[in-house]
Chains A and B, each alone.
Chain A
Amino acid sequence: MKSDLEGKKIIVHDMCLRDGMHAKREQISTEQMRTVAKALNDSGVPYIQVSHGAGLGGNSLQHGFAPHSNEEYWDAVAPVLTTSKMSVLLIPGLGTMKELRSAYEHGVRSVHVATHCTEADTSPQHIACARELGMDTSGFLMMAHLNTPQGLAKEALKMESYGAHTVYVTDSAGYMIPENVTECIGALRDVLKPETEIGFHGHNNLGMGNANSIAAIRAGASRIDCSVAGLGAGAGNTPLESFVAVCERMGIQTGCDLFKLMDMAEDIIFPMMDHIVRVDRSSLTLGYAGVYSTFLLHANRLGAKYGIPSRDILLELGRKKMIGGQEDMIEDTALTMLKQRQA
């Protein structure tokens, strides 16, 4: 069976060692990082994101403290990579250019500079700095479902003008369905220069990771973020091994070794999981209500602490349009709900 995408080449970017940190409450050891990174490298994955779940500057009470600094993680991973490149996440307002320069010194060669989907103009310094360092530079428009396709395209144009090689549509809440992805990626493709690549970063909260990623490619995306076994926030990212399998069926070229990725998911990633990353009541609520995937474990913990169902808290956060980085508002919201319920 021939598909319309036969022969199309795309670049996959694995998120296990960054987004996956969220699913592990930021607790991944340098040894585990090395093991995972080596397996990804040996499977032919071209880019591997490695850092605290919230990226540069992430170590905090707000986002949790990892057992190691980002520098220690990069130093652990860099020596086992022969072909894969290390990348990092940088959210202005949390991470800074000082940390980006340090990342470069420790061998990181690619960066996702992330802003909320309407706030691209908080990223010009950081995108320019990444370009100056000679890094593969992506703009990363988070919580994309909170903007219109035309609005996203406008923000993407800003990032392109600051120097981004690639602009991502980032479905942080796992809220999008394929029609949304098609429209958003299409809107970007219509306005961006032909040489500017488009990326898609999905979360599987509605079980749409693979379908959305394929829709993105069909609409013009050439970079797809995934993670082996879906290790990532919420119900996880698009699972890399199943995505590569779908690509093979469709003749889309990823350059990855499917069987090695399948083995890696089974033998390395699943045994690492503290909870099985899947569509469950809370992660499904994220996708349904359009809430930042990282809120999942915080809402579960605080829901238990204050005796409020985490689904209620997540729905309220969605109603209040809280965005990535506002994890403090989860406890605040739980406390306010508690007062109202006791009144």
Chain B
Amino acid sequence: MTKKIKCALIGSGNIGTDLIYKIQRSEFLEPVWMVGIDPESEGLQRARDMGLKTTSDGVDGLLPHIEADGIQIAFDATSAYVHAENSRKLNEKGVFMIDLTPAAIGPLCVPPVNLDQLEQNTMNVNMISCAGQATIPIVYGVSRIQGVEYAEIIASLASKSIGPGTRANLDEFTYTTSNALEKVGGAKRGKALCVINPAEPPMIMRNTIYCLTTDEPDQEKITASLMDMIEQVQRYVPGYKLVNGPVFEGNKVGVFMEVAGLGDYLPTYAGNLDIMTAAACRTAEMFAEKLLNGEMTLEAIA
């Protein structure tokens, strides 16, 4: 395929930078613009070195170029606080938003769980959080077999992989992830915990998922369902791995996962970056494919 959908990346931090690598490898997407707010930032410099056009004037610096450069999809990796405004400005110009902040104004997406069923008339899709992407497939793997009264996840992240945006907004991360365990994972109640560990060498991202099932868990069916979900995530994040479990104790199902990244921008311990950027990229690809086939058109939202 020669034609690709042109993309803009907003936010030149860890996630935005890692996205460049993922999108460059895509069959359907092409990274064209990187938007930052600090002209001196390392992220913008790197984007320029990788052949992207850059602006340090925020989204306003991108708006005049959207038409000429044919930008159709934008990825927002800034913060929950500025996302709504970014989205409004870009939607107005007919640009589709993939939201990687915890703002969650559009429908929530975890590709192996609900990519096929996303609302087709939306102009904004939210990717929840790295912990959400890493754990919701497991919760769904249980809840599609039997009712889950309560799901709890614990994400342990290497200190070096967590940028200033996430650090300053841990509450939003907690709320958005907890809510998505219910809305997308299918648990009646969800709770997300996160721990930032500074150990050297940095620890690989770990996620523990606990589900309390309504009645006694069907061990065989749940195990098979979980293995299937893990395999589906591995298609876009090869380092997604079951370390221990499932452990069954009464109605509690415990699953201990590890996520190693591809080592594109940060080393492989930062699986939290990969699972987020790879999921966002996969989601964008689905829409891009439809745009290229003419199954979908983008309309400016006034």
Give chain A's interface residues, CB within 8 Å of chain B: 57, 60-62, 92-94, 96-98, 116, 118-119, 121-122, 124-126, 146, 320-326, 328-329, 331-332, 335-336
Cα distance A100–B152 in the bound complex, in angstroms: 21
Residue of A nearest to B243 (CB): A332
Can you name 12 A-B residue pairings with CB atoms under 8 Å? A60-B191, A61-B210, A93-B174, A94-B193, A94-B194, A97-B171, A119-B196, A121-B164, A125-B170, A331-B244, A331-B247, A332-B208
Task: State whether A121 and B168 are in contact (beta carbons under 8 Å apart), knowing that A60-B193, A93-B195, A323-B195 are contacts in the complex.
Answer: yes
Cα distance A61–B187 in the bound complex, in angstroms: 15
B282 within 8 A of A: no
B167 within 8 A of A: yes
B146 within 8 A of A: no
Cα distance A119–B254 in the bound complex, in angstroms: 28
Cα distance A335–B191 in the bound complex, in angstroms: 24
How distant is A331 from chain B, measured CB to nearest CB, in Å? 7
Q: Contact between A122 and B196 (Cβ–Cβ < 8 Å)?
A: yes
In the complex, what residues of B have CB within 8 A of residue A122's CB?
167-168, 170, 196
Q: Contact between B193 and A93 (Cβ–Cβ < 8 Å)?
A: yes
Instruction: With a 10 A CB-CB cut-off, give which of A61, A62, A96, A146 has the most chain B CB atoms.
Output: A61
Cα distance A93–B164 in the bound complex, in angstroms: 14
Q: Contact between B193 and A116 (Cβ–Cβ < 8 Å)?
A: no
How distant is B254 from chain A, measured CB to nearest CB, in Å? 7
How distant is B299 from chain A, measured CB to nearest CB, in Å? 37
Q: Contact between B247 and A335 (Cβ–Cβ < 8 Å)?
A: yes
How distant is B252 from chain A, measured CB to nearest CB, in Å? 7
Cα distance A146–B191 in the bound complex, in angstroms: 28
In the complex, what residues of B have CB within 8 A of residue A118's CB?
159, 198
B265 within 8 A of A: no
Task: State whether A116 and B171 are in contact (beta carbons under 8 Å apart), knowing that A332-B243, A332-B256, A335-B244 are contacts in the complex.
Answer: no
B146-177 interface with A by 8 A CB criterion: 150, 152, 154, 156, 159, 164, 167-171, 174-175
Q: Contact between A96 and B154 (Cβ–Cβ < 8 Å)?
A: no
Residue of A nearest to B249 (CB): A305
In the complex, what residues of A have CB within 8 A of residue B208's CB?
62, 328-329, 332
Q: Contact between B256 and A328 (Cβ–Cβ < 8 Å)?
A: yes
Residue of B nearest to A327 (CB): B154
How distant is A114 from chain B, measured CB to nearest CB, in Å? 12
Residue of B nearest to A93 (CB): B194
Cα distance A119–B244 in the bound complex, in angstroms: 28
Cα distance A62–B245 in the bound complex, in angstroms: 16
Q: Contact between B156 and A326 (Cβ–Cβ < 8 Å)?
A: yes
In the complex, what residues of B have CB within 8 A of residue A336's CB?
243-244
For B167, give its contact among A94, A121, A322, A331 (CB under 8 Å). Answer: A121
Cα distance A321–B174 in the bound complex, in angstroms: 24
B93 within 8 A of A: no
In the complex, what residues of A have CB within 8 A of residue B174's CB?
93, 96
B199 within 8 A of A: yes
In the complex, what residues of A have CB within 8 A of residue B159's CB?
118-119
For B197, give its contact among A94, A116, A124, A331 (CB under 8 Å). Answer: A116
